Structure formats: C-alpha cells, structure tokens
Structure 1
Amino acid sequence: MPGARPCRKTGRAFVVAGAAGCLVGLVGGGFRWCLEHADRLRASFVEAAAGLGVMGWLVPVALCAVGAAVACVIAQRVPHAAGSGIQHVEAVWRQESGPCSLWLLPAKFIGGLIAIGSGLVLGREGPIVHMGAAIGFVAGRRSRLDAEDARLLHTALGGAGLAAAFTAPLAGLLFVCEEVTRTIRPRLVLLTLVGTVTAVVCSRLLVGGATAFPVPGIPAAPVWMLPVFLLFGVAAGALGAAYSALVVRTLDACDRLTRVPLTVRAAAIGAVVGALMAVDPLLTGGGDPLSRRLLAGGSMTVVALVTFLAVRFVAGPLSYAAATPGGLFAPLLALGALWGTLAHALASPLLPARASGPAAFAVVGMAALFTGVVLAPLTGVVLVVEMTGTAVLMVPLLIACFAATVTADWLESEPIYDSLRRRILERP
C-alpha cells in the first residue's frame, strides 16, 4: 500500500523514543538519587569536621579540591564532557558539531556526581540533558532510523533529560522548542512528548513523584501588585544579563591561564568553594536545600540574603570554569529565590499588609532570573510552576519573565547557551 513504509517508519521512531525515554528516566533518576546521597554524605563530613576546630576547615577544602580535580580529569577523557552540555546539544541540532558517543554517559554521570557531590555550585540538569541526547542519538542509529530521525531523537531525548532532572515534562518540551531548536515541528514535538513522559514516569521509580520544591499554599497576587512584579522582572533581567556576562568573562579569564594545567585550576577553584563550604554549606552545592528553605518561608536577615546572593553569584561562574561536568539551571533557581526573597524584604515596608509574601517573590524570582540568563521565558515559567506547583502565580510569572526578557535583550545580553556554543565551536 502507498505510504505504508512511512507509517512504519514513523511508528518505529515513536517506539524508539519511548524506549529511549525510559532509559533516560532511569539514568536521570539514578543520577538524582546518587546526588541526594552524595549531598547527605558531604553534609555529614562537614558537620563532623566542624568539631575538629581550626584544622576541621581543611576537610571541606580538601574534599572539594580533590573532587573538582578528579572530575576535571574524567571530563577531559571524553570530548564535550566538561560543562553543561546543553550548548553541545544545540550545536548538534544546528549541524555545527557531531553527536557524542555513549562514552559520554559514564564521563558525565561519574564526573558530574563527583563535581556536584563535592560541593561545586553546579546543576544536575546539564549532565542529564547531555546524557539524554546521547542516548537518543545512539538509539536512533542502532534502530536504523535515518539520519534526520536520529538527529530529532538526539534533541527530543535531551528535552526528556531536562524533564527527568526536575520532574517537569512540559518544561522539557518547551525547552526543546524555545531554547534548543527555536521552532515548532510537529514530528519533533510528538517525539519529545513521548520521550519526556516516559522519562518522568521512569525517573519517579527512583526519586518519587513529588514536586521538586513543594510550596505551602500561596494566594493569588492582587491585581494592583502586577506593576510591582513588572518592575521586579526588569531588575531580574538586568541581574541575569550581569550573570551571563560574568560566566563568559570568568571562562575567558581562566582560558588565559595557559601555563596552569586544567586539573590544577580545577583543584584551586574547588579549594575556594570548599572554604565557602566550611563557612556555611548552603553557600555551595546546587542550591536545592537553599531554595527549599526560602520557599518554605525560612527566615533570613537582609544582610544574610545579600551575602548569600553575592557569594553564590560569583561562586556559580567560578565553579563552571573548573571544566567539570555540571550545569547552570539549578544554581540559577537558587539565586533567583534569593533575589526574590531579598526584593520582598527591601520592598515590604512600602507594601500594604495584603501584598504577596516572600515565598511568592521567591517563586517569581526563580523564573525571572532564569529568563534573564537563558532568554527562554515560557520554559522558565512552566519549569518553575511544575517544580513548585504554584500555577496560581501564572500571571505574575508571565509578567516578570516578559520584563526580564525585554530588559536583557535591551542590554544586548546574548542567551547564555549561544555564548557557550560559540565558545566550543571556536576552540580547536
């Protein structure tokens, strides 16, 4: 029958996307499970070291320095294993670079676990997205799909990786359409939907199905507060543009240290982050415990909020320059929660009693700062809503992310993954 072969081909692609999505979910869920246990183990080490007096400060310094150096060595063994990996997924979609082999999986999994688990200010999503994309491409080739379908699966399963990283299937789909491809193609959308759904279902077998950052009941924002969130989004966009610039400039500065071996540079950065860990563990790591504390209404003074914001603002780009596997999303979300809580603390004397509380500002801050850096407003909104379960804040989120996008664009800030993608293409 005419058209029978294309139908079989289409059906096979969806079956492969579903099977590969299951594998992405298991890998992503396993990565998250291991990171949760690594975080607990690191916290116990730091707590035990605190009882050793002055010498106890050396324990977190040595732990993070050694972890960063080892993760750097692992990343150098496989092309594109260092850093987030999202920029490489975008480069493959644009046919500017070739896909990675399955050797990327152990390099990203083990290297990312060591780097993030040792306390570097990096996110879990970058490694999982990159591993998902590699799984998608290899699955497509092993299933004898044509080159175009293999490329589609590479991108679609990258979105499944983001979905598994945050238990956010819709955000994974929007991430593919808005950030990676910047287009909507029905076939790609369907493949991504199959991949994200199966990935989230399988990841829940290992990490559970609860939202990543459960937030107590937040009332809808009053209409008169919407201009406040608009101004808040403008400030978040400017802060995001500054963060993007700092990431790129830190990488450029480290690249000029040609006489310093990469492992030595990574160890030095790890030692700095380890010293911060000795002061307060919440200053380091991916930032999930800090985000949960702020979203749950945990009290922090204005001085503490400013200090945490300033330290993590610098520690994130510095950690990324260590050339280990690790992403940018999770630290950005924690930074956004800090910024939102701080903005509420500064503005609260001017706000009426029935104004939105600090948790609402923290939620909106997570999405707005993410948008100011990545310039993907819909992805930011849906990701934060899926992670927090705060659909009641949809209008403030959309307004703040709109303002953040316009502001960052007006400041001529390039989306961070465009900058990072150009860097990997310019390197020999």
Structure 2
Amino acid sequence: MVAALAGCLVGLVGGGFRWCLDHAELLRVSLLEATTAPGGAGRLVPVALTAAGAAVACAIARRVPHAPGSGIQHVEAVWRQESESASARLLPVKFAGGLIAIGSGLVLGREGPIVHMGAAIGSGAGRRGRLDAEDARMLHTALGGAGLAVAFTAPLGGLLFVCEEITGTVRPRLVLLTLVGTLTAVAVSRPIVGDALVLPMAAVPAPPLWMLPLFLLCGVTAGALGAAYSALVVGTLETCDRLTRVPLVARAAVIGALVGALMAFDPLLTGGGDQLSERLLAGGGLTAAALTVCLAVRFVAGPLSYAAATPGGLFAPLLALGALWGTLTHALVSPLLPAGAAGPAAFAAVGMAAVFTGVVRVPLTGTVLVAEMTGAGVLLLPLLTACLAAAVTADRLGSEPVYDTLRRRMRERT
C-alpha cells in the first residue's frame, strides 16, 4: 500500500515534470523563431538563454547535496549503503533545476531528475510509513525505477532497470514493490503526458534473419562508441574539476553559452534529443554528411552539458546519439543491401539500444526500453543481438559502466 501511494505521487511529480519540459521546449522554440534572423543580433538570444539557464540551474543545484547531475549514481549508492538517502529538499531543487537546465537547451535527459525524485519520494514514504530500514531502502530503489518508467512511459523498462542496473539482483519482494510502484506511477502520469508512444516510429516489418550479422556489427561499433562516450563524460568532469579558479556557476554559464551557440546554428544539435530521435525513427531525412556532423557535435555536447553541474540525465541524449549512429550505419551499408532489407528506421532503433547498452551496460533494459518507447516489438531479435554485442565489446575494451564510475567518483568527493 505504501508503494502504491508513493507510486501515485511519483506519477504526479514525474508527469508534471515532463509536462513542464514539453511546454518549456515549445516556449524555447517560439522564442528562437521570433528572435533568430540570419546575420542578425537575434543569434545571440540562444547563447544568452542557455548560458543564463545553466548558471541559474547550477546555482539552485548547489543548495542540496547530490542534486547536480543525473542522481542515478546516488540511488545506486543508497542501495549499496554507501550513502544516505536524499532529504525532501531534493524534490523542489531537482524539479526546478532540471526544468531550467533541460528547458534552456542543454544536452541532458529528463530521466535522471525523475529517477532521483522518485527515489526521494520512496525514501520519504518509507520514513512516514514507519517501515524498517531494509523495506525503506527497497522502497527507495523501487520508486527510482518507477521514475524511469514515468520518464519514458516504460513500466517493464523501469523494472528491469532496478534489477539489472541499480541492484544487479532479482529479489521477489523488490520485484513486487517495483511492479506496484511502476504500474501506479505510469497510470497516474498517463492523463498528464498522454497515451502516445514516447518515440513513435514508422511501421517496419521484421528484418530477415540474414541481416542479423549486420545488426551484430552495428552493436560492436556502438559498443566501441559507447566506451568512448563514457570515457569522455568522466574525462570532461575531471578536467572541469581542475579549473578550481573558475567559480562553478561561471563555468556553467560558459558551457551554456557554448551549447547556445550550437542551438543558434541548428536546434537539433542541442536539447535532450527526442525530436531528433523521432525524426530518424520516421525514416531519416538527413544525408550521411549531416548525420556525421550531428553525431560528432552531440558526442561532445552531451558530456560538456553534464559537466555544467546542473540536474540532468544521460539517457535521452544517449538514445539520440544511438539513433544517429544506427541511421549512419544504414547509410553506409545501404548500397550493398538488396531490396527488402531493413530500412533506416530499424537501424535507428537498434542503434539507440546498442549505444545505450555500450555506456550503461544493461542489454535487457536497453532492449525493452527501446521496444516500449517505439512500439517496435518486431525488432526484438535485432535489438537483443546488437545489445549483446555492444555490452561485450565495451567490456572487452576495458570500459567500466558509466554509473559505476560516477558512483565511485561521488563517493571519493564526499
């Protein structure tokens, strides 16, 4: 009962956060259309907008421990009893800071703040429900999974995320709590965010079996890309740590200004990436050169945005990066494919799951999450193949799962 009631609150908070982000994005797009003219001073508006948003979000996040960044590493640390659960002060700080940071155009995802807020709600419910320490810790973890389910309207993805990433184990009681929390959270969030798929894609037939080696190759290369991305995220954070003479808020403003300059050039280069992913899943429309440029820019802009020390996650930008990689892979091999082969939309979906797996190292969660977000159940076999290849490749390259690295870094700094 406590998990169900707390799940309802996660649905309200997470759904409200998504609703606010959607309207913030619409407002940002309207502002850019109204002020940006070729060669005009309006080009400075996105620079000023994102710089101010990053600075304000960073200043807000500094008020509460563990509020900057994704927060998923903190949820994992609480499960491992390496850290205390967050206080109730985290909710308004994470909500406001994440809304300002992501809404201003930084390359960050909504899932990190929602997972962290969900876990904080679970912890608070455990205390108010007078549960013992073990049940309160389980509720904290389970409601974090409910937060991911709300962020992407993916209840099974939220459950697998808890078992595969946060805890690395399957316990019947934990599974039950997570199922109750995710189901109630998604049910309550539906009237707020709607029933549509998060990333609808064009209808695709099941790819022929002879294409599995191609998806395997896509997974291998995506795993290498994911390993490089993880290294860049951590390396960027460590580089920024050495800039001790630059105030944290000023550093966030500079990063925001750089991202705003990219936004002035092309809005698809910035933001969480849902619009870009949806466009690629609908069939592409970008040339190989444009895909390469967008991939290279977002590959750097994501870790740079994360280093701004504002609330925001890694998942959504990773999915966009994977969609770019999958579509680019199809563009490179399409001249060799016969008629009836899978199109760019199928490769985009497989790339999303594979790059995500290469960074986070959760092949089942990546497969189910993409399938739930896109409705592409016919791609389960290619998704599993590519995710397995990505996980093995990243592991053989010596790349540590990114949240393990971030959790250890958090523990060392505190």
Structure 1 residue matching 2:40: 3-state secondary structure: helix
Inter-partner Cα distance in structure 2 for 1:352 and 1:86? 43
Match of 1:401, as an amino acid? C
Q: Give the CA deviation at 1:298.
A: 3.5
Following superposition of structure 1 onto structure 2, how do residues 57-68 of structure 1 map, counting pairs within 5 Å?
57-68=43-54
Residue among 41, 44, 49 paired with 1:55: 41
Which residue of the partner structure matches residue 105 of structure 2?
119
Q: What is the TM-score of this pair, normalised by structure 2? A: 0.99
Q: Which amino acid aligns with 1:392?
A: V
Q: C-alpha offsets along residues 336-359 of structure 1, whole Å, 9 cap, x if unaligned?
A: 000000000011011111110000
Unaligned runs of 5+ in 2: none
- 1:163 alignment partner, one of 138, 144, 149: 149
Residues 12-55 of structure 1, C-alpha deviations (whole Å, 9 max, x = no match): xxx00000000001100000000000001011111112137431
The RMSD of aligned alpha carbons is 0.7
Using the TM superposition, give the Cα deviation of residue 400 of structure 1 relative to its aligned residue in structure 2, in angstroms. 0.4
Correspondence for 1:172 among 138, 158, 166: 158
Choose which of 330, 333, 348 in structure 2 pairs with 1:347: 333
TM superposition shift of 1:205: 1.3
How far apart, in 2, do the equivalents of 1:370 and 1:42 lie?
Answer: 27
The equivalent residue for 1:356 is 342
User: Structure 2 counterpart of 1:313, which letter?
Assistant: F
Aligned to 1:261: 247
Aligned residue for 1:12? Answer: none
- Deviation (angstroms), 1:209: 1.4
| Residue aligning to 2:203 | 217
Q: Superposition pairs for residues 19-418 of structure 1, below 5 Å?
A: 19-51=5-37, 53-418=39-404
Residue in structure 2 matched with residue 5 of structure 1 by the alignment: none
CA distance, structure 1, for counterparts of residue 288 and residue 200 of structure 2: 24
Quick one: percent identity of the two aligned structures? 77
**CA displacement at 1:216 relative to structure 2:** 1.9
Deviation at 1:210, TM superposition (A): 1.2
Counterpart residue identity of residue 291, structure 1:
S
Code of the residue aligned with 1:402 in structure 2: it is L
CA contact (8 A) 2:284 2:344 kept: no
Kindly provide the CA deviation profile for residues 102-153 of structure 1, in whole angstroms up to 9, marking residues without a partner as x: 1100000000000000000000000000000000011011010111110000
Paired letter, 2:219: G
- CA distance in 2: counterparts of 1:164 and 1:215, whole angstroms: 20
- Contact 2:8–2:188 (Cα < 8 Å) also in 1: yes
**What number of residue pairs does the alignment pair up?**
414
Please report how far the alpha carbon of residue 59 of structure 1 lies from its aligned counterpart in structure 2 after TM superposition.
0.4
Which runs of at least 4 in structure 1 moved beyond 4 Å after TM superposition? Answer: none
- The residue type paired with residue 305 of structure 1 is L
The whole-number CA distance in structure 1 between the counterparts of 2:37 and 2:202 is 35
Conservation of the 8 A alpha-carbon contact between 2:71 and 2:113: yes
